[in-house]
Structure formats: C-alpha cells, structure tokens
Structure 1
Amino acid sequence: MPNLRRSAAGTAVLLAVLLPATGAATAGVNAETGAVAAERPWLDGTRSVAERVDLLLGEMTTDEKLNMVRGHGLALMPRGRVKAVPRLGIPELRMHDGPHGVSDVEGVTAFPAPITLAATWDPALARRFGAALGAEARGKGVNVHLAPAVDILRVPQSGRVWESFGEDPHLTSALAAQEVRGIRSRHVIPTVKHYVGNNQETDRMLVDARIDERTLREIYYPPFEAAVEAGAGAVMCAYNRVNGAYACENRRTLTEDLKESMGFTGWVMSDWLATRSGQKAARAGLDQAMPDDPLFSANLRLGLAAGTFPRARLDDMARRVLTPMIADGLFETRYGSPGREVRTAAHTALAREIAVSGTTLLKNRDGLLPLPKNTGSIAVIGTAAHDDVRITSAGSGRVLPPYVVTPYEGVEDRSGGAVTYTPGDGDGAAGLRAAADAAREADVAVVVVGLVTEEGKDRKDLRLPGNMDELVETVAAANPDTVVVLTSPAQVLMPWAGKVKAVVSSFLGGQELGNALAAVLFGDADPGGRLPMTVARRASDYPAGTRRQFPGVGLRQVYSEGLRVGYRHFDATGTEPLFPFGHGLSYTAFSYRGLSVSGSTVRVTVRNTGSRPGVAVPQLYLQFPGGAGEPPRQLRGFAKVRLAPGEAATVTFRLPERAFQIWRGGRWTTVPGRYTVHVGASSRDLPLRGTIRR
C-alpha cells in the first residue's frame, strides 16, 4: 500500500487553513506560529507519514499504545470508539457503518445498495459514490467508515449479499478499489470487510469455511488485495473460522497472506465481538478488538509484564493504527457531529444516477419498453410498489431514508396518462382478483415484487415471498402487456419469466428508486445495468444451491465448488442460465467488430446501430490454456460506454500480467500456452475471439 507511505507535505497546513482546528482531535497545527508542530513534531505535515509515526511512537507510553488496540464503548452513533490521547494530539477514532449510507441515523442520503452499484459496472461512479459516502460520514463525525464489504456472492441465499458487489472477483475488485479511493478523498479511513470466507449468515459465529488456498487466492482474496492497493486503512476480520482457525486469530490469513503477501500496512480490527482470545489473536495478526474489550488489552498487559507477549508486537499494532490515521489526514481534519444534516442536492442526484445506471433490463419481448408517450393507462400492482417498498435490508448496514419515492409515485409523476395502484398480494384470493381486474382495465400492467434479506439470517429458499409468484401469473394472464419489476438483493426463481413481456431488476434502489425506475420505463434514460450475478432456472443449478449443500452440516462449510463460483460453474457444467452474468438489454442495438490483439492489449470497436442513444458494457473474458486447470472463461476487463445513434467507440483493454496467472505452488504463475480472448455483451454473448500467447 505505497500511498500510506507517501509524504503528506503541505497537506496538513492547507487543511488547517480550510478547516480550522478545534479540540484535541485537531490541535496539531497552528498555521500562524507553528508552535504546536515544533513542540509535537509528529504533527508536522511537512514530514513523511513514516517519520511522523516513528516520532509519535517514541513518545507513547505502554498504556497509550494499549489504548489504540481496543474500542471503548458501543453507542448508536458512532458504533465504535477508540479514545483520543490529548497529551499527544491523537484524535478519537469514531467508527460507523454502513455500505450504502451512514446507517441508522437521520439526516443522511439513502443511496442504492452496493449490489445496485455493482450492476452499474461503472468504477468511476463507484468512486463518486465513495466520495459522497465519505463526505456524509465525515459530516456526522465519523473518521473510520466500515465499508466497503467485498464478500463474494457464493450462494444467493446469503443474507448479506446486498452489501457487496456480486459473484465475480474482478468486478468486485474494480468497484471496491474506486469506492475506497472515494472515501479516502474525504479524509475518512475505509474499512474493507469481512475477511474472509464470510459467505453465509447461518452459524456465522461458528461455521468453519473450508477453502483451499488456490480458491482463496483467485476468488476470495482479490477484492481485499485491490482495496489494500487502493489504500484501505483497515480490514475487518470476520466471525467465522477459516480452515479451522477463527478469522480473527488466524495467522495464515491475517499475517502471512494479508500483511506479508498482500503488503497491508494498516490495521486489522475485529468484527463486533468477534475477538475470542487475547495474546493468541494479537500474535496471529489482530491489531484492534472492537467494540469494547478491556480483557483484550488487559491480557496483552499481563503478557508484557510476564515477558510472554513481545513489546515489538504491541508497537506494530499501534503503528498500524496510527499510519492510516496520519496518511488520511485525521490529525488535521475537522469533522462534524452526529446530529448534523449532511444531505445535499448533489448527493440526491447521485443516488438517482446510481439507481438509473444499475437498473437492468432482463427481458423486453416485442419492444414493450420503453413505454410510449401515448400509453393511456397503467396499472401499478404489488405492495412492493408502494406500501412495502424495498430499498434497503436489515442489519448493521440499514440506512434510514429521509424519504422514499415509491415505484407507484415515480410512474404516476412521470406518466401522462391514468395510473392506478392495487396492492394485489398479501390479501389472498380477493387481492389477486383485484389485481386481475386492475390489469385487465389498463393498457400496461407493471407488477413490482421483491424481498429484503438481513444480517444474521439466510433465506430458506429462492422463491419470492408470499403469493408474489401467483400475483405475477395472475396479472400476466389478465394483460399480455405486463412488466415485472424486481426489487431484490439477489437472485430469485422466476417461474413466470416466459409468461411476461418485460422483466426489469432494480435490486435495492435507494430513496430515488421510483424516479429512477420511471426514467427507465419511459425511456428518459437507457437501462444502464448489467447483472453482477448469474440467474438460474432452478435452485439446484447453482453450484451450492441446494439445502443439502448449504448451509454447511456440522458447522463445516466445504467450498467444494472451488474456482467454479457463479458463471464459472454454469460454463464448466454446460448449464444454461435463465439470465447470464453480465447480461442486460438496451433500448438500442450494438455491434462488436474489429477485435485486435497486440501483446497484452486488446482493442474492439463498439457501434450503436440503433436509433436511440444507449449504454454498452463490452466485457472481456479470458480462456486459459488447458493445463491451467481454470474454469472455461473468466472476466478480465470491462468498460461502460455511452453512444449516440450511429456513433462508434474503440475500447481498449490492457491486461496486466496478473490477468494470466494462477496460484500454483505457493506463488502466482503464468502458464505458458495460448490464451483465448472473448469479447462481447455478457458471459454468454461473446461474438469476438482472439489469441494471446504466453
């Protein structure tokens, strides 16, 4: 993480001028006389980060170092604290969730969930989101934000898949890295989580994730590695065990892999109450027990006194906490307070932009969408359309929206015709009859269905709840022009998919859900989303999709599918998905032509061949030589381009050496041979092919 070692010259003085210092957290810079910096040289922003940390450590007592390695009390806001050290000008650490907004407090923006951001396939948008998230956290007095979550979507039943970026490590890495950079740009420390193997909520405090080393390195580690490279100052270790040892006292994963192999120089904090030991966890690589664990620091103190715990390790723990604090400007920056209103018009616009860009058109038979201007009447049906809207899920990442534009409200506001709302589901046969009547009398029926998931609990199955499936089939039978809108954090079964003309996924669209959905339905915006997951026809088609396979039996979850996660499994087994990874339709058409390969650089021309402006997401998949033992194809590059009718763009993919490597024999190795490059619109729509030799 070289950016944590960079010089901070000039930054502190500039921040002190722009953001006047107040209190112990910002007392380090006196722009007029420099007296404080002279007295406390570690507060001198003209010195390098490493030099400032060394100077500060040299002045700290053992008690002050022990202060840095545990939390001090749990409150609603912030969720975790580490006490300041006023004598040395060390500010208090204030930690808070969550992945799509500052959680469980008022006065913030409820952005779309990260799974919706994942559907945008837009790293630049992820960076802007991170900057907005960091700004609102900072305004609320938070200087350590507990995001992003980068847990790979291994099984769609998992209760927290909405907090992360889907099933592919390359897509997750690209988005998470930019979110980290965005958060840091607001002088807030990002915390990437949950390290590692946190892919289910069932028995999450005890389950042993049995994952072979190659699978860890190629599937589950890359997003953490990308976040580290982007400068994430903290990594949160998970509750579960990994190959026998608890994640927060696992020397192999924490010290050997994260700190030594990935070069992480920040600190490892525990998930809340995940610390199970004192010296054992610290020796394994845990640097900070959260949210409040006096026994942890007391155990270290006893070890220091008895000579059983090395003082150098305590110094390393304190150093790892202090390094990102200084690198990200926590000593100089002014932060807000929990009661502050931090919403802005720009953030509201960004929330809507993300929701539009992540809205994914899965099916559009006969060009039913976009709805024409002369659409006379629209029946909006389903409690998820208005009475029970799903924009967030439950748990530590839940955000309290200042308002919610429901799908019904968005459609009604945008439509020039008559719009009715009928709940339909949840009221038995009478509700279904009312839904059928409303659909029959309308020109177009829009059925909104969905579900929410929650931390600590996995879904029992992949069906929509209640009688939502029956509702869709009832409406489709009453009106052939039926659009189904899904508001769901992950895959659901769609037994009715062949009976409706259009299917749109909004995932969890945040407070501007209704406006964003209406913009897409009426063609004000092209549906910009692409699936960050594979949607199967049957639950048993997923690699770990049956109850027999998931959750683990006897508190053991064996990752027997290995590298075949998501679309890799479908490709390897020849299983036809309902909707493939990377899929998403536009209101226009695109051609892919002229693939050329020069060394490790691949170029392709994408042209809008339709009559409307639209969004294309060209994707590059790499097929390894036969001896590599890899799945058939793997995402290695993507881009998002907006093209006017007839416009063309040349998209360039530059593949780093790591793109050609596998983990073998304890190191990254390039397998010699012929690599086939596939480029197209999804993992199953790849018309162009080229060759790279290694």
Structure 2
Amino acid sequence: MGPDRDDRVLDRHIAELTLEQKVRLLTGATTWRTAGESGIGLREMVMSDGPAGVRGEAWDERRPSVLLPSASALAAMWDEPLVEELGGLLAAEAARKGVDVVLAPALNLHRTPLGGRHFECFSEDPELTGRTGAALIRGIQAHGVAATAKHFVANDSETDRLTVDVRVSERALREVYLAPFEAAVEAGVWLVMAGYNGVNGVTMTSHPLLDAPLKREWGFDGVVVTDWGALRSAEEPARAALDLAMPGPHSPWGTALVQAVKDGRVAEAAVDDKVRRLLRLAGRVGALAPRRRDRVPVRRSRDTRALLRRAVAAGSVLLGNRGVLPLDPAELSTVAVIGAHAASPRTQGGGSAGV
C-alpha cells in the first residue's frame, strides 16, 4: 500500500470545487457507488456487502462469490493470522469484482439471544471481537481495498432496528460497545459505518460520539458512512462528524445542505473536512488520479478451497468425544448423516451476509 496523499494536495482539489460539487460528493451516486468528479480526477468508488463474502453490485448466480464461514465461526478460530489471511481472500474477491470498499467487519456484540444478525458478528466478548476484527481489517487493507467497521455503535438488536434508542452507561459504552471500534481504528480501518439506532436519545448519524471519541480522541482519519438509508435530516448530521450518505443519488443532503451552508447554519469548513476524508479514501483505494492500487494476488480455485476448508475446521468446536473420534476410514463401510441440514445444508445467513 502506497503512502497517503498529502492533505495539501487534497486541499488543492477541494479549492477547485464549487460548494454544489462538494455537497454532491457527500451522497452516493447509486446504491453501491460514490459520486465521481472528473475535474479533479476522482472516479466513482464501488462498495459491496459483506461479512461472509463479496457480493458485488448485483445478486447474480452467473457471478458467484467465495463464501467464508460466518463471522461467529471466524472468532471461534481464535487464530488472528488465519483471519488476516481470510481478509486477503476478501480483498482478492473485491478486486475480481471491481469493488473498492468491503462493508465488513461487523463489530457489534452478541448481547442478547434475540439479536437477529449474530451470524454477521464475531462474539459476545469485546476483546475477542476487537482482535478478530482488527485482523480481518489488516488482511483486507493490505491490498489497497478498504474495510468498514460497522455498525457504530451499540447496534446489537434487530427489534425496532430503525428507531431503537439504546440507553447505556458511560462505563459500559466505553468498555463493551466502543472497545471493538477502538481496536479497528488502531488497526487503521478506512471507514466506519454509523448505525440506524440511537444512543442515549440521539440518532447515531448525528451523534457526538462520531466526533469524540472516534475522530478527535482516537484519531480516525477515514470516512464515516451511513448505514443504507440511515440519514434522516440535513443539518444535524452535517454539523456532526458524519461524512457520506448512502445510498444515492437522493438523500436529505443536496440542495438542503447547500442552502444551510449559504445561510450560515452549517460551516463550509465542515463540508470541506468531509470531502477531504472522502478524497483521502479515494487515494487509498486508487480512485484519485494519479491512480495507484497494489496488485491483489490472483488466487487459484484449489488454493481458495483449501483455505476455506482449513477455516471451517478451525472454527468448529468439538464439545465432547467419548472415544469415538477420529473415525477410522478402514473400518467404515457407510456413514449416516441425519437431520434436515444433511439434506439441505444452511451455509449462510441472509441480508448483508448473503452472497
């Protein structure tokens, strides 16, 4: 990975843009693409779900994806080098599908058995989650593909997922919910995704936590992107530390944000900081001229299958063995595999983790 683009270079690009052009960059161009700006050599950046593979821009059986074990299985491996290797596999898949940003890892916690997206998350433990997520981030970004730490923060329940307000003490917030994200920032993650939920009365896309501790205390220099459709108003998120609204091309930003800046309700310096972060990301993934992106190693199908088989075995936990295993192939004639999953295996969850 090459060095980051000097901020002075990015500031020269920003100075070339009108307010309208700058604001246009802060909302996606499509469901999965950011906006480009040819005048400064910025192309669109392509994003893709998700934690268990790289789907690409379309769900299409003619362009299948490599399927990783679920995130919970990755954490059950207790093997950071192996997780990092799987991050490299995700980067290779992203390069194969023309993807710049992988929307993973999910760093939320298994805080309740009613959590509907646990299969996308690593564990109930913030230390294990943070270390596993950091390893995956390192593996993805080593090849010039961006990782995204999501969903910031306390987004651990699907009940009333768009409106739930999580009431949490400062200590629990710091020691439990925020800890995996701090580890992600320490690992150098390039994007953080703000969730749908609120925390202590404020929706996350407008929350002061995006500024402190995320940016000012931890030094996160990347892009804070919304979860898809999580931006609900123009001014509060613009004054907060949110940077990019997805999907596009329509969002509460646009003409409303332009007018808010002209009226003095939002500082143009705040808009400039958001654009600077977006351009910094573009430089990192090779989307800003002069373009540079590290070559992602091409993986042979045989090597990929061997890696995935090793990962599946490493994430499997044997709870008991009364002298039965391992089975001796020489003494077997048939083996019965019983149950619904023997006939129709369930190898993945749905939603963002589906490929």
TM-score by length of 1: 0.48
Match for residue 85 of structure 1 among 30, 34, 37: 37
Aligned AA (2:125):
D
What are the Cα deviations for residues 267-308 of structure 1, in whole angstroms up to 9, with x where unaligned? Answer: 111101111110111112211111023431222101112121
| Cα distance in 2 for residues equivalent to 1:64 and 1:171 | 42
CA distance in 2, matches of 1:240, 1:264: 21
Q: 1:201 to 1:69 in 2, by over 3 A?
A: same
Q: Secondary structure at the match of 2:252?
A: helix
Q: Quick check: 1:257 aligned with 2:213?
A: yes
Q: Does 1:290 align with 2:246?
A: yes
Q: Distance in 2 between matches of 1:96 and 1:278?
A: 25
1:493 equivalent in structure 2: none
- Distance apart, 1:342 and its partner CA: 8.3
Mapped pair 1:271 → 2:227: yes
- For residue 94 of structure 1, what is the aligned residue in structure 2? 46
Cα distance in 1, alignment partners of residues 287 and 153 from structure 2: 27
Contact 1:71/1:82 (<8 A) preserved: yes
Q: CA deviation at 1:335?
A: 11
Shift of 1:232: 1.2
Q: Counterpart in 1 of 2:353?
A: 397
User: Superposition pairs for residues 272-671 of structure 1, below 5 Å?
Assistant: 272-292=228-248, 293-331=250-288, 332-333=291-292, 344-365=301-322, 367-373=323-329, 374-385=331-342, 387-399=343-355
Given that residues 194 and 204 in structure 2 are in contact (C-alpha distance below 8 angstroms), is that contact kept between their aligned partners in structure 1? yes
Q: Deviations over 1:610-638 (max 9, x none)?
A: xxxxxxxxxxxxxxxxxxxxxxxxxxxxx
1:66 corresponds, among 18, 23, 28, to: 23
Displacement, 1:59? Answer: 2.2
Kindly report which structure 2 residues correspond to 1:3-22, keeping only aligned pairs within 5 A, or say none. 7-8=3-4
Instruction: Among all aligned residue pairs of Structure 1 and Structure 2, give the percentage whose two residues are the same amino acid.
Output: 40
Q: 1:377 offset after TM fit, Å?
A: 3.4
* Cα displacement (A) at 1:109: 0.7
Answer yes or no: is the 8 Å Cα contact 2:87–2:140 preserved in 1.
yes
2:162 corresponds to which letter in structure 1?
M
Q: What SS does the aligned partner of 1:193 have? A: strand
In 2, are the aligned partners of 1:67 and 1:82 still within 8 Å (CA)? no
- Hey, what does 1:117 align to over in structure 2? 74
Contact 2:144 2:285 in 1 (8 A): yes
Q: Residue 377 of structure 1 aligns to a residue in which SS?
A: coil
Superposition deviation, residue 328 in structure 1: 4.0
Deviation at 1:93, TM superposition (A): 1.4
Contact in 1 for aligned 2:143/2:294 (Cα 8 Å): no
Find the aligned partners of 2:198 and 2:259 in 1 and give their Cα distance: 27
Judging by fraction of residues, say which structure has more helix.
2
Structure possessing the higher radius of gyration over alpha carbons? 1
Partner-residue secondary structure (3-state), 2:254:
helix
Query: Tell me, which stretches of 5 or more residues in structure 2 are unaligned?
Result: none
1:218 matched to 2:175: yes
Query: CA offset at residue 237 of structure 1?
Result: 0.6
Q: Work out the CA distance in 2 between the residues paired with 1:56 and 1:231.
A: 24
SS at match of 1:153: coil
- Post-superposition Cα deviations, 1:193-246, rounded to whole Å, max 9, x if no partner, equal 001111111111111111111111111111111111212111111111111111
Q: Secondary structure at the match of 1:324?
A: helix
Give how far 1:343 is off: 7.2
Contact kept? 1:238, 1:270, Cα under 8 Å? yes
One-letter identity of the residue aligned with 1:254: L
- SS of residue paired to 2:336: strand
- Distance in 1 (CA, whole Å) between partners of 2:334 and 2:203 is 58
Q: Is the 8 A contact 1:266 1:320 kept in 2?
A: yes
RMSD: 2.1
Q: Is the 8 A contact 2:286 2:293 kept in 1?
A: no
Please give the alpha-carbon distance, in whole angstroms, between the structure 1 residues aligned to 2:153 and 2:213.
Answer: 11
Distance 1:376 1:247 in 2: 58
CA distance in 1, matches of 2:189, 2:18: 27
Instruction: Indicate conservation of the 8 Å contact 2:163/2:197, yes or no.
Output: yes
- Aligned counterparts of 2:299 and 2:228: Cα–Cα separation in 1: 26
Counterpart in the other structure of 2:118: 161
Q: 1:117 to 1:94 in 2, by over 3 A?
A: same
Query: 1:335 and 1:301, CA in 2 relative to 1: closer, same or farther beyond 3 A?
Result: farther
C-alpha separation in 2, matches of 1:302 and 1:61:
13
Partner SS state of residue 363, structure 1: coil
Paired residues of 2:88 and 2:142 also in contact (CA < 8 A): yes
Alpha-carbon distance between aligned partners in 2 of 1:184 and 1:255, rounded to the nearest angstrom? 23
Displacement of 1:333 in angstroms is 4.3
If asked which structure has higher relative contact order (CA below 8 Å, sep 6+), I would say 2
For residues 294 and 219 of structure 2, what CA distance do their matches in structure 1 show? 30
Deviations 1:311-335 (A, max 9, x none): 1000011111111221343332479
TM-score by structure 2 length? 0.91
Amino acid at match of 1:289: A
Structure 2: distance between partners of 1:179 and 1:89? 30
What is the identity, as a one-letter code, of the residue corresponding to 1:285?
A
User: Aligned partners of 2:333 and 2:303: how far apart in 1?
Assistant: 34
- Equivalent residue pairs, number: 344
1:357 maps to amino acid: A
CA distance in 1, matches of 2:294, 2:18: 27
Whether 2:157 is the aligned partner of 1:200: answer yes
**Structure 1 counterpart SS, 2:110:** coil
Report the structure, 1 or 2, having the larger strand content.
1
User: In 1, distance between residues paired with 2:300 and 2:17?
Assistant: 39
